[in-house]
Structure 1
Amino acid sequence: MEHQQSLENKSPPRIDNDTTQIFRTLRNIDLNLLTIFEAVYVHKGIVNAAKVLNITPSAISQSIQKLRGLFPDPLFIRKGQGVTPTAYATHLHEYISQGLESILGALDLTGSYDKQRILTIGTPPSVGALIMPAIYQAIKENYPQILVRNIAIIDTGNQLSQFQTDLIIDSHAQTMPALYSHTLFRDPLVLVCRHGHPILQQPVTLTLLKAYEYTLLTPDGSSHSSLHKRIHEMLPDRQVSFSSYNLFTIASLIGGSDLLGIMPRRFFSLFRQCWPLASIDFAPIQQEEVEFSLHYNKLSLRDPVLQGIIDVIRQAF
């Protein structure tokens, strides 16, 4: 009994069997035959279909014979100088025409500007919250057929080189030769605390700043190492008691504690609408900037629609 239950548990799910059967069935069908079927159906004759496909009428006739071997129906009946489809052929046409149209729409071989397609943009969560409203609006005004999908960044180089993502926007410098990058905007840093924080009641000095604990944003990669080094030189004895990869988490924590933190000004303006945040006037920090860039695969420029979207996003900033 236990052996039988073990075999049942190890049996593949039904969907795997169905998918395998689909592939086996399709392997036995020359999909070019479906194109020939559609040409004969639409142009109501073997000679006309041959002209459209630039092949001989004999090749068309042979293909129709092969199709008759696959389906339990003659498909086309001779009528005068042409042919007329059977009821079964009309039934097939409804499905085949939709399938071919969907394939052509997905391939978009002509770079058509009116084809619906999905644009995938990778961003960190906080960057997405800041910039995606403007990007979505700009894309919809110029490419209303585009569906925008925002995903997380896992590995910029691999995601773009393997075309898993169309575009990536973040603050990391990219040096891969296969990628292009364009700076969208630069944002000065700001020292942040909560509203009503005691530090706001006194003149800000280095001695005063050393008296408080700090948060630290820890992004992946090493592109911010020089900036972190400069901040450390400004605040050499800064005590970091909380670090996070997520700027939302840091903003929330600052808003409910006496911790201090550093973030780009545009993010501060966004987060202060959610949490009671205030800025601390400290010039050395405010003179530093973070650069946010748009990255994409160089080969993407072969796609006229994607190239146009890249231009639209750059103009939006």
Structure 2
Amino acid sequence: MENNNLPEKRITGRPEDDKPQIFRTLRNIDLNLLTIFEAVYVHKGIVNAAKVLNLTPSAISQSIQKLRSIFPDPLFIRKGQGVTPTAYASHLHEYISQGLESILGALDLTGSYDKQRTITVGTTPSIGALALPVIYQAIKANAPHLMMRNIPVKDGESQLSQFQTDLIIDTHLPSSRAINSHVLYTDRLMLVCRKGHPCLNGPINEEVLQQYEHTMVMLEAQNLSGLRQRVQDLFPERQISFSSYNMFTIAALIGNTDLLGLMTTRLFKLFSDCWPLVEIDYPPISNERLDISLYYNKLSLRDPVLENVINVIRRAF
């Protein structure tokens, strides 16, 4: 039969890589005792700690006795109507208080804990360059303690459903009952070439544009299949000689060759500061519009911090 009155093992220093032993040591400690330790330390008395924790003074005293069997110190000494911590207890308090604060910050169940937290946003490189400066400034103005992390969009639906990212900003995402979306802004499509391109020397029509090689951005966009088809109908004989997932690379190629390509007005404004790009006046393309949307898992709205971030982003646009 186990002797429940035997003192538990004392905490001693362990090598950093001795993780199994650390877990065994922690298993011998009721972590609720650390909360009671903090309450007695902060409120300087057993009676006051009992009121705060809604426990009886007797329960608090028993917990302190258990702690004394774990640590090589009495921890608290009676002084007048309260208690005063020993030097060892003050040493413990520094570490225990930091640990409890870290746990509260990680849980953040109410969204009111003013500690750093990282919000992960998935974007393509080009959309990130356009949208994230606006989003960053809006979030910092509203919640300066939050940090942001940007990751690439690989499989947006899977990334959101498996909570690998908090938010995604993209031109498309497969429809799913688990995902909500809000259009942040709408952009116009443009046909673009370099300054001094030969096609600019005369009237622009389908036959002229078919003579030149084109670029194409590679997207896994089910929702853009209609747009793709309309572009294909406009240029049935279009020769694609360069394709890339990265619009920055495509813009650089267009700016330095006779290649033609498609991009949105906001990207054109961004890229034209880097490369000598001009728009080709071709209404069948310039009449096309593209929505840039914010996507998130519906369950994210249970998180007050993330719900606030979503609202901040929507207001920013």
RMSD: 1.8
Q: Residues 285 and 105 from structure 1, CA distance in 2 versus in 1: closer, same or farther, beyond 3 angstroms? A: same
1:209 paired with 2:209, answer yes
Normalised by the size of structure 1, how large is the TM-score? 0.90
Report deviation, 1:113. Answer: 7.0
Match of 1:276 in 2: 276
**What is the percentage of aligned positions where both structures have the same residue?**
67
1:28 matches 2:11: no
* Cα distance in structure 2, aligned partners of 1:209 and 1:308: 47
Aligned residue for 1:312, secondary structure, equals: helix
SS in 2 for 1:278: strand
The CA deviation string for residues 131-175 of structure 1, in whole angstroms up to 9 with x for no partner, is 111111222222222222222112222322232222110011341
Compute the TM-score of the two structures, normalised by the length of structure 2: 0.90
Q: Is the 8 A contact 1:300 1:307 kept in 2?
A: yes
Q: 34-43 or 303-312, which moves further after superposition?
A: 303-312
1:169 touches 1:295 (CA, 8 Å); kept in 2? yes
Alignment gaps of 5+ in structure 2: 1-14
Partners of 2:114 and 2:296 in 1: CA distance: 22
Task: Give yes or no for the alignment of 1:103 onto 2:103.
Answer: yes
Aligned to 1:7: none
Aligned residue identity for 1:29: I
Contact kept, 8 Å, 1:113 with 1:305, in 2: the verdict is no
Query: Is this contact kept in 2: 1:46–1:60, CA < 8 A?
Result: yes
Deviates more, 1:212-221 or 1:21-30: 21-30
Q: Does structure 1 conserve the Cα–Cα contact (< 8 Å) formed by 2:189 and 2:265?
A: yes
Partner secondary structure for residue 216 of structure 1: strand
Deviation, 1:121, is 1.2
Q: Is 1:220 aligned to residue 256 of structure 2?
A: no
The CA deviation string for residues 108-130 of structure 1, in whole angstroms up to 9 with x for no partner, is 23321744322221111110011
Residue 129 of structure 1 aligns with an amino acid whose one-letter code is A
Once the two structures are TM-superposed, the CA of residue 250 in structure 1 deviates from its matched residue by 0.8
Inter-CA distance 277–24: structure 2 relative to 1 (3 Å threshold): farther
* Per-residue deviation, 1:230: 0.7
**Deviation string for 1:269-296 (max 9, x for gaps)?**
1111111111101110111111110011
Q: Which position in structure 1 is the counterpart of 2:40? A: 40
Which has the larger displacement, 42-51 or 174-183?
42-51
User: Mean Cα displacement is larger for which, 17-26 or 224-233?
Assistant: 17-26
Cα distance change of structure 1 residues 61 and 160 upon mapping to structure 2, 3 Å threshold:
same
Amino acid at match of 2:46: I
Aligned partners of 1:113 and 1:143 also within 8 Å: no
1:167 maps to 167
What letter matches 1:229 in structure 2?
Answer: Q
Q: Kindly tell me: are residues 254 and 118 of structure 1, through their superposed partners in 2, closer, same or farther at Cα, counting changes over 3 Å? A: same
Matched, 1:297 2:297: yes
Kept after mapping to 2: 8 A contact 1:213/1:259: yes
Deviations 1:199-242 (A, max 9, x none): 11111111111111111111124222111111000111001011
| Runs of at least 5 residues in structure 1 that lack an aligned partner in the other structure | 1-14
Offset at residue 305 of structure 1 (A): 3.1
SS of structure 1 residue aligned to 2:314: helix
- The Cα shift of 1:65 comes to 1.9
CA distance change for structure 1 residues 113 and 277 in 2, over 3 Å: closer, same or farther? farther
Which residue in the other structure is 1:69 paired with?
A: 69
Task: Output the CA distance in 2 between the equivalents of 1:292 and 1:224.
Answer: 12
